[in-house]
Structure 1
Amino acid sequence: MDRNIKWILVAPAIFVILALTVFPLVFSIWTSFVQYDFSLGEEHPWVGLDNFRINWEDPVWRRSLYITGALAAGATLIELALGLILALAMLRPFRGRRVLMVLFVIPLFVSPVIVGMFFDLFLRRPQGPANQIVSWLVPGQTSIDFTFDSPWTYVSILVADAWQWTPFMFVILLAGLASIPDEMYEAADLDGARPRQAFFFVTLPLLAPIILVAVTFRFIDAAKLFDIIFTLTRGGPGTDTYTTTYYLYQQGFQLFHLSQGTAGSWMFMLMLTFIAFWLVRRLLKPVTA
């Protein structure tokens, strides 16, 4: 009994882990290869790779991949640029710096659904004040539906996402900038380097690994964009703002094509896995060189 007590103690935890992770994983694999539809009752005929083929041949699915990649890349670049600017501005102590840093990171703690609803109220015509603000900046009457008119729908999504996740880039890049020794800048100053030259030849090379870490995490997370799409544009107009996650949500939970949605989820996961693997290899390359 004493010999097996350790296995008895950990058995409940192992059972819970298997029940909550392994079983749903195996079940989702099985669902991808059968026709799992509520209209069929308890019959789930084997269809092989048909669910994967249907997804791949669907033009909405293929376009959602392009939209996802474009939005993820655009959001990551915008947030990287804004986060770097904020990090450089907040690097040196000044009066009110702590208060500003607290204000900058608050969006990180707001639910993405709340962010989408806030921007929906702010941008949607005619109640939202966005058009009025634009008319102050651009003379003339402005009537833009930021949640329906293309390309403003994409702009609205990027703005909402950047508002919430720029602080993520800011925090990581600020930590990276703070880790650069002052002696590096003193040496550059003794060599006659100007501030711009010090930035490009000292700051950026030393900050590059941190930037790659931030870009890797942020791009993978941005590729799963769903909450803001769901609350702000509902995938519209038409299917113009269908990201892959929104497309899979519609297939699985609105049209109840559960097998097709599950197969698409596996396809999307494998794509993200390859991208993450490539980014991580780039990240580890300086270490192994």
Structure 2
Amino acid sequence: MLLVLAAYPLAFIASAALTRSSLGNPFQEFVGGANFQTALGSDAVQHSLLLGTGYAFGVAAVSTVLGTVTAVALWRTLRTGPFVRTVLLLPMIVPPVVVGILFSFIFSPSGGLLDTLIRRFTPGSGTYAILSDTTWAIFGVGLADVWEWTPLVVLLVFTALLGQDKEILEAAQLDGANTFQSFRHITVPSVAATIVAAFLIRLILAFKVFDLVHVMTSGGPGSSTQVPAYLIWRSALQNFDVGIAATITLLLAVVVTVVTIPVFLVMKRLRDD
């Protein structure tokens, strides 16, 4: 299974990156590092990798903070919130394409939820199309992404909170610790590794975002939302240049590895402590 699911695809991508490959005729000619020189010298590739990195860290941080706060709130109301907990997990079940369509309607400049609220509270202010703005379009996509995947963080952290040793909490209360002190010195350290792990998972998922961008903005306006996954798709299936697409994939893998290793080390240290 490892050979089929990991080794073979990786070997195929590496081979395509070192050759002149099209969609219909891969491995035509060995070109060595020419594809890497082309990709690294491309402003579009550089912009996409930087945009993807910033986007991933941004949505991962927001999702982790919101998810942790929500999980703590649910843990505090453990006996009264089963319905709320179920509702909060629903966005994770919705297919990403549906999420993209939903938020496209919300941000629609003609009758969308945001447009309706703007008209309601600021009459005469006109319309504002977030997804058509080169600055704010990526934030619109990020908001949809956060809405969809924050429940995953909630689920992980909430489960960790439920797994705390109650005897330690009871002992702290007997020693005179108040609720805040128990939470700060016992609860937070006990779930810190889980929070970092949730951030790591969320970070990797954010690097892979494609569906939302494809549905909501198609990489535009201009290249303002052209994250790496979308650029890879465009290179392979629109420009039919599988060699460049494979090269960008490997570069993205390097970037993801570099930025996730420190997070993984922090998680491992917290877990060992």
The Cα shift of 1:189 comes to: 4.1
Q: Which amino acid aligns with 1:282?
A: V
Asked whether 1:45 is paired with 2:43, we answer no
Bigger CA drift: 271-280 or 63-72?
271-280
Q: Which residue of 2 aligns with 1:251?
A: 235
Specify whether residues 86 and 288 from structure 1 end up closer, same or farther in structure 2 by C-alpha distance, changes over 3 A only.
Answer: closer
Q: Could you tell me how far apart the structure 1 residues matched to 2:49 and 2:150 are?
A: 23
What amino acid maps onto 2:112 in structure 1?
G
Once the two structures are superposed, what CA deviation does each residue of 1:10-46 show, in whole Å capped at 9, x if it has no partner?
xxxx8xx76676544433222211111369x688222
Is residue 279 from structure 1 mapped to residue 254 from structure 2 by the alignment?
no
Instruction: Look up the equivalent residue of 1:284 and give its one-letter code.
Output: K
2-structure distance, mates of 1:121, 1:139: 21
Contact 2:52 2:227 in 1 (8 A): yes
Q: Which residue of 1 aligns with 2:61?
A: 77
Question: Which of 7, 14, 18 is the equivalent residue of 1:29?
Answer: 14
- Would the alpha carbon gap of residues 19 and 71 (structure 1) be closer, same or farther in structure 2, given more than 3 Å must change? closer
8 Å CA contact retained: 1:176, 1:210 = yes
CA drift of 1:215 comes to: 0.9
What is the CA–CA distance in structure 2 between the aligned matches of 1:124 and 1:134, rounded to whole Å? 12
1:134 aligned residue (118, 130, 138)? 118
- Letter aligned with residue 11 of structure 2: V
- Residues 176/23 of structure 1: CA separation in 2 closer, same or farther (3 Å cut): closer
1:88: which partner in 2?
Answer: 72
Tell me the percent identity.
25
Distance across 2 between alignment mates of 1:209 and 1:137? 43
Q: Structure 1 residues 277-286 or 212-221, which shifts more?
A: 277-286
Does residue 211 in structure 1 map to residue 195 in structure 2? yes
Indicate the RMSD between aligned Cα atoms, in angstroms: 2.5
Amino acid at match of 1:86: T
Report the more deviating stretch, 104-113 or 271-280: 271-280
Q: Does residue 1:165 correspond to 2:144, yes or no?
A: no
| CA deviation after TM superposition for structure 1 residue 239, in Å | 0.3
- Looking at structure 2, the residues matched to 20 and 286 of structure 1 have their Cα atoms a distance apart, in angstroms, of 31
1:188-207 correspondence to structure 2 within 5 Å: 188-190=172-174, 192-207=176-191
Question: What code does the residue aligned with 2:137 have?
Answer: T
Question: Which is higher, the Rg of structure 1 or of structure 2?
Answer: 1
> Which letter maps to 1:177?
L
User: For residues 26 and 183 of structure 2, what CA distance do their matches in structure 1 show?
Assistant: 64
Higher deviation after alignment, 138-147 or 224-233: 138-147
In the alignment, does 2:200 pair up with 1:241?
Answer: no
**Larger CA deviation: 255-264 vs 275-284:** 275-284
| 1:133 shift after superposition | 1.7
Question: 2:71 corresponds to which letter in structure 1?
Answer: A
Distance in 2 of aligned mates of 1:171 and 1:42: 43
Q: How do residues 141-152 of structure 1 correspond to structure 2 at under 5 angstroms?
A: 141-152=125-136
Cα deviation digits, residues 228-287 of structure 1 (max 9, x gap):
111111111100111111111111111111111111111211222333333323222245
Q: Please, what TM-score do these two structures have when normalized by structure 2?
A: 0.88
Q: Which AA in structure 2 matches 1:27?
A: F
Q: Residue in 1 aligned with 2:245?
A: 261
Instruction: Give, as a single letter, the amino acid of the residue that structure 2 aligns with 1:211.
Output: I
- Identify if the C-alpha distance between structure 1 residues 37 and 281 changes in structure 2 by more than 3 Å, giving closer, same or farther: same
How far apart, in 2, do the equivalents of 1:93 and 1:288 lie? 28
- The 1:81/1:49 distance shift into structure 2, 3 A limit, reads same
- The whole-number CA distance in structure 2 between the counterparts of 1:85 and 1:42 is 49
Note the alpha carbon deviations across 1:187-234, whole angstroms, 9 max, x for none: 444555454443333322221111111111111111111111111111
- Cα deviation, residue 143, structure 1: 1.3
Instruction: Tell me which residue corresponds to 1:121.
Output: 105
Preserved CA contact (<8 Å) 1:132 1:142: no
User: Are positions 1:57 and 2:32 aligned together?
Assistant: no
